[in-house]
Structure formats: structure tokens, C-alpha cells
Structure 1
């Protein structure tokens, strides 16, 4: 009896502690500047041709996006998982791909066959996009100790996918005075740039798209900042998931097959059991 009584007291004390912890007011955690901005931020929806179960890539948009990458982003960001020959999938011909590889501004590291020394050569269609920097140390040295991320899988590695990339490259702004009044310690350092879309509001990358007409599109499309942002984010989505259309087609075929199989199975069920009396 004594053991049971003490066990009852221990259990009662445990339940009481849980109850007190549940009903007692909690200390309100101090809100950070990033949490405040993200809570009050409204982003406009971005529509892409590949959205939805029947979406398909717009090849012309992907080619424009590649042009933005080639002329703007490739100065700092690598795409080590994309080969030049992969560009045929977005509508470039073999001669065009060969010319793009040959004219790429960064040569491919190689070994001299005769001397065995390290050298470089013009890129071939079979090569992957060469990095703009020889190593991480050089990349950080050229970017104020910030390492530009590889863009091969960026659209799948960031929450929000291509829409996040669109909002990020168009989201640079002047830091609001009201934010500094509420959070005096949130002032953006001189070496960084204020971008409310970024996780901690301050990003090392300078605004990549600074003005309309920064790129002259080969197809004649007007290169506004908004258009360039949509095109580069769509291109990066293709780079991260080049088989998206195949998945959509396979999924559609499977759904149709399952619907037909379900109808046949139900018909067989009704035919077998139609003469059975309940």
C-alpha cells in the first residue's frame, strides 16, 4: 500500500507539473528583423509554362534564360552539372552548341599531351560548363569572402523554386527607415545589399539585373528586368529538372491507365456477381 501511495504521489506531481507548464504564460521570444519583414512581405505570384501537371517548358524562354546566364550570371556562378550538349534539349542546334562552347569566355582545364603540364583549351560540346574560378579560395577572394553557389540545382534546392529566384533577383531595395527604427541593429553592412527576400535580409551578391536592356535577346523580346528574371528562373528550373516533361507525360499516362483499369475491374465485378442474390 505504501509503495502504491508513493507511486500515486509521483504520478500526481508529474501531471501537475505538466498542467502548470501548459497553463503558465510563456515568455515571448524577441522577434528578429528578418521574421518581421518576412511576416509582412507580400510577393506577387509568378506563372510559368511548366507549372501544373500538364506544364511544358517554353524553349524560347529557356534560350533567353540561358542568354541571361551566359552574359550576366556566369561571371560568378558555375553550372558544373550541365554540359554544353545539353543545350540541344532547349532548341539549340548542334552547330550552335559547338559555337557556344568554343566561344565560352572560360577555357576548360586540361593536360598538355606532350609535356604533361596543366593547361587549358577551348570547350567542346561534351564538356560541362567550366567554373569562372579555379577553386573556392579564388571564388571567395573575388566576392568579399562569399562563395557564389553553383546554379545547376539551385531551383530545386531553394524553397519556392524558380519563383524564389525570380523574387530574389528583383527584390533588391533600399532598407526601409521604419525597419531601422524598430530594429536599430538591423542596418545592412556596407559590404552587403539589402534584399527582403533573402533569409537574413542581407546578401553578398550585388543586384545582377540592374536595368532594362541589360541583355539584347536574340529573338527580339524586350529585355525588361521582369522578363529577364522570369527567363533566368525558368532556365534554372530546366537545368535542375530537365526531365520534368517526361514525368508529366508518364504521370498522365499512368492516371489514364488506372482509370481504365478501374472501370474494367468494376465492370468485371458487376458481371460476375450480377446473378447472385443477397
Structure 2
């Protein structure tokens, strides 16, 4: 009799516990429906990346070497003073159409040199870059280093479109409105961009330490005569960073097309063989 009573008590306690959990769940869901959590400044004013049409987009995409060379120029003249490209070697630039002497000159003239240590004195010095060297790292003593850009289009959601949107997305926070016409600072007074940061709705928390790197037309001079607008420079450097993240993409695309064509051809042969072997056999 006692074991049966004990089991009944356990059953009732368990049922009561489940009932309380269900009540809490229903209450929480009801509250969320009636009084939804208001969006934060980041959620309401953060923008998704803009559309970016690059020749490398899609499964059949391929690189535009002229655009990649323009993008490298933007990186060299604007981005390289702060951001490293440490997974790329100077000699890889030959894949963009630069000759061997041009690559050697680019490496030698690069402002950041390669650190070397004197084994006897135990001190550090510098030497000119060689074509076989990777782009040297950029260091900021005491503050760390800005992100390396070698794989940035792989490391960020939306890839090149994110980079392009970030570079062209800086805005004046004063008077900035959302789609409903509500001003950011009036609705979220505490969301004011702190001193030393810059408002950018494409950045995760809206505020970024990097000042706008592309500020005016003809910030660089393109040798092919392309007009160097801020929008064009942002597109070109985004395309270049797609290449740094996956320089063999074009080869991979060609291999993929070849494999698909081979499989289609092999399927056709297999079907033809099937018809030949079973032609005279009655089912």
C-alpha cells in the first residue's frame, strides 16, 4: 500500500511541475505577443549589405583583371597603411597581370619592410621586401592591429557586398532616420556615437573606430582612365579582396563546369549502353 501511495505522490508532484512550466510558457508567449520587446538601436537601424554586381559573382563568375589591378591600387594607396594582407605574397600579383619586374619593384618600394634579426647582436632591423615575401603585417604598438584583410570577404556575411557597403555607408548620425521616418537620436538618445567613433549603419553596432577611408573623387589615379569615384573605388577594392580570399576561384569554377559536363556525358553513355544491352529483352 505504501509503495503505491509513494508512486502516486511522485506522479502528482511531477504533473504539478509540468503544469507550472506550461503556465510559465503560456504567460511568456502571451506577454511577448501583447507587449513585444522593442527593438534596440542596432536592430532597428542596422542595414543589410547593398547589392554588389561583380564579374566574379555566381557559379560561372570570373575575375576582371583590370578591376583587380584598380582594386589593388586602392588597397596600396588607401588601406595598406592600416590593414595587413599577410596571407598574400607579392609574387601572387603576377596572377593579376603584373610582370615579374613590376612585382619586384612593388615589393621593394612597399613602405612596410620585412623585420629581420641580427643573430649576433640580438637586435631587430629591416630589409626590403622580396617578391617571395608576404605583405608585411601592420602593427600599432599598444593598441593592437586592425583586421587583416586577406580573408575579409570570407569572414564577413555578404562578403564583398559587406565591404562595399561599409566603405560607402558612413553617414551623419544627426537627423538620420529609419524607414518610418523616426530620427535615431530622438528615439534612442543613448545611442549617440561616442567621440572617436564614426556612425555607419552597415557596421554591427553602428559605430566604427575607422574613419571613412574613401572620402573624395580621384583619391587614387587609375592608369586605365576609369573615373575614380568613391563608389568605383569601393567596388574595385571589394573585388580585389574577393581575389585575395580565394585566388583560385576562377580555376575552381572551370573545374566544376568540366565535372558537370563530364557527368552529363557519362550519364548519356550509360543510358545508351542500357538501351543497347536490354533492347531485345522482353519485360
Question: Do the two structures share a fold, i.e. TM-score over 0.5?
Answer: yes
Q: Residue in 1 aligned with 2:141?
A: 137
For each residue in 1:143-190, what CA deviation from the matched residue of structure 2 results, as whole angstroms up to 9, or x when unmatched? xxx741011111111111011000001000001430011111000011
Instruction: Find 1:45's aligned residue among 45, 51, 54.
Output: 51
| Alignment of 1:93 onto 2:99 | yes
| Alignment of 1:54 onto 2:54 | no
Q: Residue in 2 aligned with 1:252?
A: 257
| Partner Cα distance (1:171, 1:122) in 2 | 37
How many residues align? The count is 268
| Alignment of 1:36 onto 2:34 | no
For each residue in 1:210-249, what CA deviation from the matched residue of structure 2 results, as whole angstroms up to 9, or x when unmatched? 0111001122211000000000011111001001011101
- CA separation of 1:16/1:265 partners in 2, compared to 1, >3 Å: closer, same or farther? farther
By how many angstroms is 1:53 displaced?
Answer: 1.1
Q: Residue in 2 aligned with 1:143?
A: none
| Partner Cα distance (2:253, 2:128) in 1 | 37
| Alignment of 1:275 onto 2:283 | no
Deviation larger for 198-207 or 261-270: 261-270
Look up the SS of the partner of 1:156 in the other structure. Answer: helix
Q: Residue in 1 aligned with 2:149?
A: 151
| Partner Cα distance (1:7, 1:270) in 2 | 69
| Partner Cα distance (2:81, 2:280) in 1 | 76
For each residue in 1:26-77, what CA deviation from the matched residue of structure 2 results, as whole angstroms up to 9, or x when unmatched? 4433421010112xx4654110000111110000111100100100001111
Q: Residue in 1 aligned with 2:158?
A: 160
Instruction: Find 2:111's aligned residue among 101, 105, 116.
Output: 105
TM-score where L is the length of structure 2: 0.86
